[in-house]
Structure 1
Amino acid sequence: MEPGNFKYEYYIPVDSQNDLFLMKMWVSSESQVTHGETEHYKMLQTLKNEYVIAVAIEKYCISAIS
């Protein structure tokens, strides 16, 4: 894991072979921004532009993680 990443998991829905659900939890907004500046993230964006049809992003803020 990267610094600032609290949790990373992925799921493939049982009812769709074409969907992927990624869950990333960051300790701060700043950590997430730093992640977006990494080389591997930029490479992923290039691949997504070529192969991914649609992306839906949902952000949630919580005050504490137990």
Structure 2
Amino acid sequence: MSITLHLFYTGKNNNAQKFANEMESSGIADQIRNEDGNLSYKYYQPLDSKNTILLIDKWKNQSSLDEHHKSNMMSDISKLREKYDLTMNVEIFQEIDGNSNNNSYIRK
């Protein structure tokens, strides 16, 4: 059952955008996209909050997400969040019936 995370990164002075740009330019984002079990990793800009970047991150299952959280990249991501002084809010959605074709998810 797939898991989708919405991570909202918020900071001052366009720092959330700078964070996302550095995640992309440093190659960290591509490393995550290439991890076993990652189905999607995309950044978006909410229209109602210029100081926030939304990351939608989708994983095949909980074990692939757990492996990602154990990776060395998590330290790099944390350092970048600190560098840009960002707060983070996370919403988690998990597929409830095992059939991703019908988009049935529950918010955790």
Q: TM-score range by the shorter chain?
A: 0.7 to 0.9
User: Which amino acid letter does the alignment assign opposite residue 60 of structure 1?
Assistant: F
State the Cα distance separating 1:15 from its structure 2 match.
2.6
TM-score of the aligned structures, taking structure 1 as reference length: 0.81
In the aligned structure 1, how far is the partner of 2:99 from the partner of 2:43?
A: 22
Q: Which residue is 1:64 aligned to?
A: 99
The structure whose Rg is larger is: 2
Unaligned runs of 5+ in 2: 1-32, 102-108
Cα-to-partner distance string for 1:44-64 (whole Å, 9 max, x where unaligned): 112213323321111111023
What residue number does 2:75 align with? 42
Count of residues paired in the alignment: 66
Larger RCO of the pair (alpha carbons < 8 Å, separation 6+): 2
Match of 1:26 in 2: 59
Higher helix share: 2
More strand by share: 2
Gaps of 5+ in 1: none
**Aligned twin of 2:16:** none
**Identical positions, percent:** 26
